[in-house]
Structure 1
Amino acid sequence: MRKQTLLWIGLFFMSFQFMNAQGSPDYNGGLKVKFDEEGNKYLRVISWAQMQAGYNFDPATDASALNFNLRRARVLMFSQITDKFLILTHFGLNSLNSGSMSPTGKGEGSQLFMHDVWAQYNIAKDHSVGGGLHYFNGISRLNNQSTLNMMTLDNNRQSWATIGLSDQFARHVGVFAKGKFGKLQYRVAINDVTASTLDARTPDAGGAAVYNGRSVLGSKDSGKAYAGYFEYNFLDQESNFLPYKVGTYLGGKKVFNVGAGFFLHPNGSVIDAGTLTTPDLQGEDVAIFAVDAFYDAPLGEDGSALTAYATYQSNDYGKDYLYSAYGTGSMLYGHVGYVFAGDKTKTRFQPYVSYGNNTYDAVNDDMNTLGIGVNAYMSGHNSKLTLEYKNQKFGSTDTSGLTLQAMIYL
């Protein structure tokens, strides 16, 4: 196993011999079609793919240790014919691998689906409203994370706190408002929650809550969720044109933001307050709150830069809720990365470390997750390799793995 690990690391660095290490000065905002000279009428298209090779140090007895995964394949488009309104469409697939593929490409795991489709109206300078299948989420920066420019290999999963429980892949159908007052940015939303949910369990009499309120109690009592996120930009101002939060600017900005957010789903969870013979299903509110801070800044004129993020999240999914990695309790998470000095037109390296701690009311054990990785940017985020080791401990379970990811976006 030790030899295999060394081989992976060697392949990671050897790969630069076969790739163009120069930047892409011609990117110039990407694929954008302008329909007037001023650029007010346009169509912008973004496409990206993330391919992974993962090595599990503790595979099941009948499972291969080495596996391949098409983590994301996406296309995002947005267009306007006037600066008064905009439409955005985002589709693709996630985690296509040998287990989710189908013989003729017609299985569920092989299918493209809509991630986002919304219409947006600018009602005043710096203020907009809109509606549709959208990503203007509450809670924290990481619950609004872009997958184009993450610093770590992937987002901290527990920060996508409702994914598959009340939404479709971190998106709800609803209405939103977003904007800014000076250095204070805001986004708020009222959404319908899905009738289906990954948590399809049935609550036990006197037992823990189950997060499937709408499917049990109906849309009248459990059909709406409310979300918001507010952040103060102390230094450079970040764009809030789109909802996707940048993971690292690689020293391109000097940013220090402090934020706070929430997600509320009245009667989102269900408990059985009755007996084995006489069920009494009652709703319990889901309430998630978080505070966070984000810092990203150059450390000099030599190209070096620091990225740091920290968040505390309070999770209330109902009485003793625990499902997969989600549960009533609290979460502490942070990561820090450093870009080495160097020519910005050539390959740049960014080692990083991440750590998360989750506590749960239902059990005495904490879940602790440690990630150690390095990014190699051949052309900023447009072409990069990431190698990450991750270890997760939860009770008697201790899992570790090594993942190499190649990403290109245009």
Structure 2
Amino acid sequence: MMKLTNLKIIIPLFFLIFFGSKLLAQDELNQPNLRFYLSEDKSSYAGAVFVNQIWTRYIWNNPDALGNDMGGDFDVAIRRSRAIFYTYLFDKVFMYTMLGSDGHSFKLQGNPAVSLYNAQTEYIFVKEKFHLGFGLTTWNGLSRYNNCKLLEYLVVDNPVFAFPVAGRHDKFGRQLGIYAKGTISKLHYRASVAKPFRYGVNENDQIQKVTERLNSNLALKGYFSWQFLDKEGTLMPYMTMNNLGRQRIFNVGGGFYYHPEAMVQKTVDGIDYPDIFLFAVDAFLDIPLTNGAALTSYLAFNNYNFGENYIRSAGAINVSLANPNSALAQGIGNSEWEVGTGQIIRGEFGYLLPGNGMKNRFQPYGAFSWKNFEALNEASVQFDAGINWLMNSHNLKWTLQYSSRPIYTAVDGNSKWTESKGQFLLQTQIYF
């Protein structure tokens, strides 16, 4: 027999889904919504968003340290599965919670874990101009990509380097803290004081190279952008990377992330404690053209400083079964050098082909990343090329993409970019 506590959860959720579909605010979000109003003047409402992103891939794996070919891997993986719940009350309070699970492949052992991604409460002191929030949030600094909307990418996914402390001093791009945000005239601002998650080594441990240090220092972060054309909605914490020409957007911004003495390294004089100091400048353009076409582009310069010769590799949902002990320094499978002390330039360009409405539209695109890390002896360039099939805007979308990946090997004692590997990826996205 079903327990009463379960009914208390299921019944309200049923009414949310059933009646929410009859109370859509299409003019507000221009998308299907599960939303219902709590007051006659519509100043209070609650809603939910659900999303699944599934990857089907073929990956040409990195060679091993001796240059032997390691073949390729085919897999189907869950990139993201999320449930988002939000409540807006009397133009005074906004509450936002996200649950979900990411990165599941056939290598998963045990049952998938459900994680808490966001849990924030926001107080609205001056509507649109000054909001103050608390909790586990994604009101980040640094760049537009560091605050991006996962449902509205131009490319398949965000580049890993856009979240440079992910998996270290933050969780899934989130940190606990206090933030202020708002838009005054054409200026949008978001600034935060965060308490980063503890990660790294004790200073008394054996330190071979610069690495993260266990510490309790606060971090400061902020992002500021000038909106030359239309204003973007900023109630939710995320910025679109692909608005499909629904507005005339041209924004130029800059941001930073500063975490003092968050690293540790051995020097000739003893032990040093470098700061993490990251900054970026970027520009985003998304405008409608004639005949229903639209242009989307993004350009960013990122400068990262984690301490001398810091570098870190990553591979999104790496499914390789190769032996890590015989791998290149950058790792097995689809691992690549993603984050380090140095500079990164990122560019993206997409063109929504002419048409009417947002059903069965096609959008070819291309992107590149130039990385110049201090720990490597040569900069590299990689690219993405693909096409979005928008069966129903971003709500029902297919994306096919090919991505290249630089391979670094030791040449006369130096780390050189000697070849590139790649992968084909098909993503299916459904959200409502």
Using structure 2 for the length normalisation, give the TM-score.
Answer: 0.80
Q: Which moved more, 1:265-274 or 1:56-65?
A: 56-65
Q: Which residue of 2 aligns with 1:4?
A: none
**Residues 160-208 of structure 1 deviation map (CA, whole Å, 9 limit, x = unaligned):** 12111211111000100000110000000000111135x8999866x64
Cα distance in 2 between the residues matched to 1:258 and 1:144:
14
Give the AA of the match of 2:271: L
Matching of residue 409 in structure 1 with residue 431 in structure 2: yes
Matching of residue 85 in structure 1 with residue 98 in structure 2: no
Q: Which residue of 2 aligns with 1:239?
A: 233
CA contact (8 A) 1:175 1:190 kept: yes
CA contact (8 A) 1:145 1:244 kept: yes
Cα distance in 1 between the residues matched to 2:136 and 2:309:
31
Matching of residue 319 in structure 1 with residue 313 in structure 2: no
Give the AA of the match of 2:257: F
Matching of residue 31 in structure 1 with residue 34 in structure 2: yes
Matching of residue 270 in structure 1 with residue 264 in structure 2: yes
After the TM superposition, which residues 58-97 of structure 1 pair with which residues of structure 2 at under 5 Å, given as runs?
Answer: 58=61, 65-97=73-105
CA contact (8 A) 2:359 2:393 kept: no
Count of equivalent residues: 366
SS in 1 for 2:377: coil
Cα distance in 2 between the residues matched to 1:348 and 1:372:
17
**Residues 269-293 of structure 1 deviation map (CA, whole Å, 9 limit, x = unaligned):** 1012368xxxx43311111010000
Segments of 5+ residues of structure 2 without an aligned counterpart are: 1-25, 64-68, 314-337, 410-418
Cα distance in 2 between the residues matched to 1:309 and 1:28:
24
Q: Which residue of 2 aligns with 1:306?
A: 295
Give the AA of the match of 2:160: R
Give the AA of the match of 2:372: T
After the TM superposition, which residues 247-266 of structure 1 pair with which residues of structure 2 at under 5 Å, given as runs?
Answer: 247-266=241-260
Segments of 5+ residues of structure 1 without an aligned counterpart are: 1-24
SS in 2 for 1:129: strand
Question: What is the alpha-carbon root mean square deviation over aligned residues?
Answer: 2.2
Residues 59/98 of structure 1: CA separation in 2 closer, same or farther (3 Å cut): farther
Residues 202/51 of structure 1: CA separation in 2 closer, same or farther (3 Å cut): farther
Using structure 1 for the length normalisation, give the TM-score.
Answer: 0.85
Q: Which residue of 2 aligns with 1:6?
A: none
Q: Which residue of 2 aligns with 1:385?
A: 398
Give the AA of the match of 1:127: F
CA contact (8 A) 2:370 2:382 kept: yes
Q: Which residue of 2 aligns with 1:3?
A: none
**Residues 378-403 of structure 1 deviation map (CA, whole Å, 9 limit, x = unaligned):** 10000000000000114236221000
Residues 351/345 of structure 1: CA separation in 2 closer, same or farther (3 Å cut): closer
Shift of 1:80: 2.6
Shift of 1:116: 0.5
**Residues 206-237 of structure 1 deviation map (CA, whole Å, 9 limit, x = unaligned):** x6421x22x1xx32xxx211100000000011
SS in 2 for 1:165: coil
Cα distance in 2 between the residues matched to 1:178 and 1:256:
19
CA contact (8 A) 2:196 2:219 kept: yes
Cα distance in 2 between the residues matched to 1:83 and 1:236:
22
Cα distance in 1 between the residues matched to 2:281 and 2:72:
40
Matching of residue 368 in structure 1 with residue 376 in structure 2: no
SS in 2 for 1:158: helix
Q: Which residue of 2 aligns with 1:14?
A: none
